Amino acid sequence: MNKSDIEIAQEAKMKPISEIAEQLDLHVDEWEPHGHYKAKLSLDVLKRLDSKPSGKVVLVTAISPTPAGEGKSTVSVGLGQALNRIGKKTIIALREPSLGPSMGIKGGAAGGGYSQVIPMEDINLHFTGDLHAITSAHNALSALLDNHIHQGNELQIDTRRVVWKRVLDLNDRALRNVVVGLGGPVQGVPREDGFDITVASEIMAILCLSKDINDLKHRLSKMVVAYNYSKEPVTVADLGVQGALALLLKDAIKPNLVQTLENTPALIHGGPFANIAHGCNSVMATRMASKLGDYVVTEAGFGADLGAEKFFDIKTRAGDIEPAATVIVATARALKMHGGVAKNQLTEENVGALERGMANLEKHVETIRTFGVPFVVGINRFNSDSEQEIQFILDWCAERNIEVALSEVWAKGGAGGEELANKVVELVENGTNTFEPIYDVSLPIIEKIETIARKVYGASGIELSPKAKRQISEFDKAGWNNLPICMAKTQYSLSDDPSKLGRPEGFIISIREFRPSIGAGFIVALTGTVMTMPGLPKKPAALNMDVTEDGKAIGLF
Ligand code: ADP
């Protein structure tokens, strides 16, 4: 029987983090140990290595995922290990997991099988406290805002138009809507409020897009928290608390250094939602990894229509990052699902369905081509995939001159990813790279969305609700029109309807409303309702969790 992810992780021979830091030639004062196997890296590293040429950034993205996740993190970790095996000094840059989903649905966010980052219990639980710091900064702002209203409300904040909710790093549906300030005049001013999960906080997105602490402070100051009685935006700068918030984040902005099962260095830092935010680890971690290594392997959430598009159109602009190559992860399972197979029949061979499902991969391939970044399709092999299915995908790609490599990093670690690693190196060294974001930020909001919808989703057009139309003219007045767009769309379909799998055509993308994330520096376009405080399932993963007398985690994954 296969070992579980946590069993494999607990058997790993970890090196003390000091050895990993030495491997990266970090100066003694540039890293602070957090226990034996984790460290925080000082942003001084970026200053010291500023003039050093950056390493090559390889983005791992995927086809439209199935509910199980298609193994982007697993392939990212495995590819990083494989690149090291073939002699390229490589560092992995990934997102930090959130506690909410860990307690809810089985499945970690630290890779899987023989391609994991460790210590996985720590990474999946409290890690180095970054999410707690973000929660504290976020809720400190809530407290300061409510206090401002209580103490006379000089800014004339309309308590019915406070848009800054509170946050918690748990899935807790009972907190989605609450009333605060009950109990009489000395307990504050009663108003409706609610909780989001911490990773949905704009502060998380800001932390991930900031280049340094000054940029962080500047972005924090621009966040819109409410509207006044004249319907004008009230910002953090109006409350004058950006300094306090930045202070609470002074350690959280330092990237976290850990290692993989094969002792490849990994920076795990920041993890914003991939719908109402951009779904990538921090700019600081990616940049630092590119200064410390020759190659960086990083990932973006969901499929290429969301993750890669936002990486290319939002993150590269914020962080001056040049993508050198892209890996599009595909699995036979997900392709079969796109070809019409039900979730409970994915382990049965079905080449016909696979053939139909290839249309989904085809669209993502076209998208990456549109961005001009050289790419390779990485087939993440599952034990249940048949030889015929794998061969079909290989042939399909070969017939179209699409680079493809089989990845067996889940089962074999870095050794199972050498073919993919060699292809990536070939693309980086000899591929044609004409990368450019697909829209100019100075275009009108509507045109930016239309470009994404047509070029990336394959839509025939967009339509806006009356509210969205009204908001566009308000945003024009507020001077918020020169920002990139962050699309909040279902990850399961290229369209905005999760039931339309494969490669839907002739569909319209409907924009319900916008949310200004001015501090993060983008406008969120919502195509449907987006859950920013998830609930727990009927049988939460927490039911299988325990801890032994000597502190060993059980049932985490
Ligand atoms: P994503 O990053 O796309 O969400 P992950 O890499 O986190 O996906 O993988 C999701 C889950 O699937 C993990 O539990 C991982 O162990 C498992 N997984 C990934 N690849 C494979 C594979 N090739 N075979 C079996 N399980 C896999």
Verify whether ligand 1 is closer than 6 Å to residue 319 (CB atom): no
Report in angstroms the alpha-carbon separations of 227 from 145, 235, 485.
Answer: 12, 9, 22
| Ligand 1 lined by 109 (C-beta under 6 Å) | yes
Contact 495/503 with Cβ under 8 angstroms? Answer: no
Return d(Cα 553, Cα 311) in angstroms, integer. 34
Cα-to-centroid distance, 3 and ligand 1 (Å): 14
Asked if CATH classification 2.40.33.10 holds for the domain at 130-249, the reply, yes or no, is no
CATH node for 445-526: 3.10.410.10
Question: Does ligand 1 come within 6 angstroms of the Cβ of 116?
Answer: no
- Is 69 a known ligand-binding residue? yes
User: 61 near 325, Cβ under 8 Å?
Assistant: no
Nearest-CA residue for atom 6 of ligand 1: 71
- In angstroms, the CA 288 to CA 21 distance is 13
Q: Does residue 378 line the site of ligand 1, with CB under 6 A?
A: no
Q: How many CA atoms lie less than 13 Å away from 304 in the CB half-sphere? A: 30
CATH architecture of 5-128+257-429: 3-Layer(aba) Sandwich (3.40)
Active site includes 557?
no
- Confirm whether 489 is a catalytic residue: no
Of the candidates 527, 371, 516, the one whose C-alpha atom is nearest the C-alpha of residue 435 is 371
Q: Is there an atom of ligand 1 within 6 Å of 165 CB?
A: no
Binding site membership of 113 for ligand 1 (Cβ less than 6 Å):
yes
> Helices (DSSP H) in 191-262: which residue ranges?
202-209, 213-221, 236-239, 242-248
Q: What is the pTM of this model?
A: 0.96
Who's near 61: CB < 8 A, 6+ residues apart?
Answer: 72, 299, 300, 303, 304, 307, 308, 311, 326, 327, 328, 329, 364, 368
Catalytic site includes residue 410: yes
The reply to whether 302 belongs to the active site is yes
Q: Whose CA is nearest to atom 26 of ligand 1?
A: 382
Q: Could you read off the pLDDT tens digit of each residue along the chain, which spans 557 residues? A: 578 888 888 888 999 999 999 999 999 999 999 999 999 999 999 999 999 999 999 999 999 998 756 899 999 999 999 999 999 999 999 999 998 888 887 556 688 999 999 998 899 899 999 999 999 999 999 999 999 999 999 999 999 999 999 999 999 999 999 999 999 999 999 999 999 999 999 999 999 999 999 999 999 999 999 999 999 999 999 999 999 999 999 999 999 999 999 999 999 999 999 999 999 999 999 999 999 999 999 999 899 999 999 999 999 999 999 999 999 999 999 999 999 999 889 899 999 999 999 999 999 999 999 999 999 999 999 999 999 999 999 999 999 999 999 999 999 999 999 999 999 999 999 999 999 999 999 999 999 999 999 999 999 999 999 999 999 999 999 999 999 999 999 999 999 999 999 999 999 999 999 999 999 999 999 998 888 999 999 999 899 899 999 988 888 77
Handedness of CA 314, 318, 319, 321 (dihedral sign): positive
**Which residues are paired to 510 by β-bridges?**
463
- By C-alpha distance, which of 225, 98, 91, 110 is closest to 532? 98
**Domain spans of the chain, in order of start:** 5-128+257-429, 130-249, 445-526
Residue closest via CA to ligand 1's atom 17 equals 112
- Is residue 303 marked as binding? no
* Structure letter (DSSP) for residue 282: -
Q: Report which of 310, 292, 293, 290 is spatially closest to residue 301, judged by C-alpha positions.
A: 310
Tokens of 80: 């990083």
404 CA from centroid of ligand 1 (Å)? 19
List the catalytic residue out of 40, 72, 166, 503: 72
Instruction: Among 60, 74, 420, say which to mutate for ligand 1: greatest number of ligand atoms within 8 Å of CB.
Output: 74
H or E, element range at 148: helix 130-150
Find the helix or strand (DSSP H, E) in which 511 lies.
strand 508-511
- Listed as own residue / partner, the contacts of 340-347 with beta carbons closer than 8 Å and 24 or more positions apart are 340/501, 340/502, 343/66, 343/67, 346/66, 346/384, 347/384
Identify the residue whose C-alpha is closest to ligand 1 atom 16.
Answer: 112
